[in-house]
């Protein structure tokens, strides 16, 4: 297994994984053709800098992904932080340590970017995901909130 940064040609496979779970199937539109909004969002991410999708790849197959965003800030003496979003492993490959390896890769990238904190959110109902993140050393330190616009 190797890790690499996603490219535009990978967007379809990424959306397939995002849509392939209980929550994603209600939020995503994995169809043919794929809605152009996904490609537009990917182009925005690439232009932004410090915002990437990290892929786990075996042979030529994309088997996992996550979004990693590096955020410079003024708080905590100008601390840089990383945010991890949209962690997915292809259902065929789950239970093989791919998610853990993918998360460790993201944490290593965050370290190389001089981040002092990695944070993420996970739905309150995803108890398996909570156990997974706890095993990686994450602590449930804050209450998350969202405002949909």
Digit-coded pLDDT (tens) for 133-145: 999 999 988 888 8
Token match 């996603």: residue? 6
Q: How far apart are the first and last CA of the chain?
A: 39
29 and 11 Cβ atoms separated by less than 8 Å: no
What pLDDT, on a 0 to 100 scale, did the predictor assign at position 85? 95
Confidence check: pLDDT of 83 > 90: yes
Backbone φ and ψ of 66, nearest 5°: -160, 155
Q: How confident is the model at residue 109 (pLDDT cuts 50, 70, 90)?
A: very high
Could you tell me which residues come within 8 angstroms of residue 5 by beta carbon, excluding any fewer than 6 positions away? 52, 53, 54, 55
What pLDDT, on a 0 to 100 scale, did the predictor assign at position 22? 79
66 and 88 Cβ atoms separated by less than 8 Å: yes
What pLDDT, on a 0 to 100 scale, did the predictor assign at position 125? 85
Mean pLDDT in residue range 14-30: 90
Mean pLDDT over each residue of the chain, to the nearest integer: 94
Mean pLDDT in residue range 82-104: 96
Q: Measure Cα distances from 63 to 26, 31, 35, 60 in Å.
A: 21, 19, 22, 9
Determine the Cα–Cα distance for residues 90 and 149; give it in Å rounded to an integer. 30
CATH architecture under which domain 2-135 falls: 3-Layer(aba) Sandwich (3.40)
Q: How confident is the model at residue 41 (pLDDT cuts 50, 70, 90)?
A: very high
What pLDDT, on a 0 to 100 scale, did the predictor assign at position 23? 80
Determine the Cα–Cα distance for residues 99 and 54; give it in Å rounded to an integer. 12
Within a 10 A sphere around the Cβ of 131, how many other Cβ atoms? 10
């Amino acid at each position: 297994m190797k890790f690499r940064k996603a490219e535009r040609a990978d967007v379809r496979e990424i959306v397939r994984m995002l849509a392939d779970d209980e929550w994603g199937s209600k939020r995503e539109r994995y169809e043919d053709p794929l809605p152009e909004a996904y490609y537009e969002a990917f182009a925005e991410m690439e232009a932004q800098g410090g915002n990437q999708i990290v892929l786990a790849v075996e042979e030529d197959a994309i088997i996992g992904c996550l979004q990693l965003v590096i955020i410079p800030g003024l708080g905590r003496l100008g601390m840089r932080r990383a945010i991890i979003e949209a962690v997915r492993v292809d259902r065929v490959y789950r239970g093989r340590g791919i998610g853990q390896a993918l998360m460790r890769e993201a944490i290593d990238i965050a370290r190389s970017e001089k981040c002092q904190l990695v944070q993420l959110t996970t739905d309150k109902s995803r108890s398996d995901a909570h156990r997974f993140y706890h095993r990686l050393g994450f602590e449930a330190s804050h209450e998350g909130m969202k405002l949909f616009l």
